[in-house]
């Protein structure tokens, strides 16, 4: 396993470097970039496949898009609804269940014991909450650092910049243990950056700007497969941004979640919980009132909204009615 982790870590570094080189080539020599585009994209896809696949036993080998065991709670940022946090506590197993919160995406120099919603979980009665943080992947690869995850029943990733989570934890023992929390039937959750990191494709993973959708970090932790996740979507008028990703990676399912809204995922089942809306980009369209008489755009530029209580089949890529 340690040798595999080294390979994955080096692949992440190579993928990041390649992404930056591609960006510079596209800007400085567009004609040359156009000639090499196919070969470049194939190389990047191969590397992305390597780092998102994981060795046997590390990630769940499953026919499902979401986790075969356990549950994801994916929140679109600005999470202030106590009922969402209570749902995470309940899915973890109740107030006695160990919960680990990860504030790393925020980028602060230090964190206190209330970081990444730890204080909120305690206020709601959780008795065993640990804040886990490092920026150093060598530290994250040690048993001493990762030990709280061995017994954790819940994980919560705080907001900030999602690439910081990749730089700190990708390919390490800590990342593997995040997946094992799900394998034990626990819950992995997160808000804003902590939402996007849960997808296999990392939306807004660019170190220079969060306005770059396909950036120099493109691989998330892959708790849900073949999916890109955006956040703060309606509050920040981001509803058209997902198309930047889908033009580059049309095979992906796009999901964009508004603030204070959660998408709860288990196996192929996804349900909107609380808040306002989740936007789905699957190339199709759905409406409560039907769509036969609507004049709709083509499949490359269409999306639709789901609200609290609506359900979606991630495998079939269709609304459950």
For the segment 192-249, what is each residue's pLDDT rounded down to a tens digit? 999 999 999 999 999 999 999 999 999 999 999 999 999 999 999 999 999 999 999 9
Instruction: Answer whether 53's CB lies under 8 Å from 235's CB.
Output: no
3-state secondary structure of 285: coil
What's residue 26's pLDDT?
61
Residue 27 has pLDDT above 80, yes or no: no
> Going by DSSP bridges, is the β-strand pair 129-131/99-102 parallel, antiparallel, or unpaired?
parallel
Q: How confident is the model at residue 57 (pLDDT cuts 50, 70, 90)?
A: very low
- Average confidence (pLDDT) over 123-150: 98
Instruction: Answer whether 310's CB lies under 8 Å from 261's CB.
Output: no
Of 202 and 23, more confident: 202
What's residue 292's pLDDT?
86
For the segment 256-305, what is each residue's pLDDT rounded down to a tens digit? 999 999 999 999 999 999 999 999 999 999 999 998 889 999 999 999 99
Q: Of 136, 137, 118, give the one whose Cα is nearest residue 127.
A: 118
Q: At what angle do helices 2-28 and 30-53 cross, to 10 degrees?
A: 160
How far apart CA 53 and CA 51 sit, in angstroms, is 6
How far apart CA 196 and CA 205 sit, in angstroms, is 9
What's residue 31's pLDDT?
72
What's residue 300's pLDDT?
93
Say which DSSP state 258 is in: -
Residue 52 has pLDDT above 50, yes or no: no
Determine what percent of the chain is predicted with pLDDT higher than 90.
79
Q: Of 91, 271, 66, give the one whose Cα is nearest residue 187.
A: 91
Of 148 and 41, more confident: 148
Residue 56 has pLDDT above 50, yes or no: no
The chain-wide mean pLDDT, for the chain, equals 89
Of 15 and 174, more confident: 174
What's residue 49's pLDDT?
46
Residue 1 has pLDDT above 60, yes or no: no
What's residue 5's pLDDT?
47
pTM: 0.83
Compute how many other C-beta atoms are within 10 angstroms of the C-beta atom of residue 94.
Answer: 12
């Amino acid at each position: 396993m340690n040798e595999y982790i080294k390979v994955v870590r080096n692949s992440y570094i190579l993928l990041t470097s390649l992404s930056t080189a591609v960006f510079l080539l596209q800007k400085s020599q567009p004609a040359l970039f156009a000639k090499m585009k196919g070969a470049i994209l194939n190389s990047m896809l191969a590397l992305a496949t390597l780092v998102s696949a994981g060795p046997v036993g590390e990630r769940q080998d499953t026919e499902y898009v979401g986790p075969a065991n356990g549950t994801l709670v994916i929140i679109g940022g600005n999470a202030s609804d106590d009922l969402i946090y209570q749902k995470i506590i309940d899915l973890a197993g109740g107030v006695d269940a160990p919960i680990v919160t990860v504030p790393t995406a925020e980028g602060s120099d230090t964190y206190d014991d209330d970081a990444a919603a730890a204080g909120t979980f305690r206020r709601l009665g959780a008795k065993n909450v640990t804040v886990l943080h490092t920026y150093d992947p060598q530290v994250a690869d040690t048993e001493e650092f990762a030990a709280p995850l061995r017994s954790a029943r819940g994980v919560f990733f705080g907001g900030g910049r999602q690439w910081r989570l990749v730089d700190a934890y990708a390919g390490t023992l800590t990342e593997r243990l995040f997946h094992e929390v799900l394998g034990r039937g626990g819950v992995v959750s997160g808000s804003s950056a902590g939402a996007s990191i849960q997808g296999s494709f990392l939306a807004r993973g660019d170190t220079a700007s969060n306005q770059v959708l396909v950036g120099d970090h493109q691989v998330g932790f892959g708790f849900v497969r073949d999916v890109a996740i955006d956040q703060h979507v309606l509050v920040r008028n981001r509803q058209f941004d997902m198309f930047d990703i889908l033009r580059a990676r049309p095979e992906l399912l796009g999901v964009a979640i508004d603030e204070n809204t959660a998408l709860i995922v288990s196996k192929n089942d996804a349900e909107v919980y609380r808040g306002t809306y989740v936007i789905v980009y699957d190339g199709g369209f759905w409406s409560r009132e039907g769509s036969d008489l609507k004049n709709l755009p083509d499949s490359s530029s269409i999306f639709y909204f789901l609200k609290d209580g609506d359900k979606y089949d991630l495998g079939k890529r269709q609304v459950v009615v």
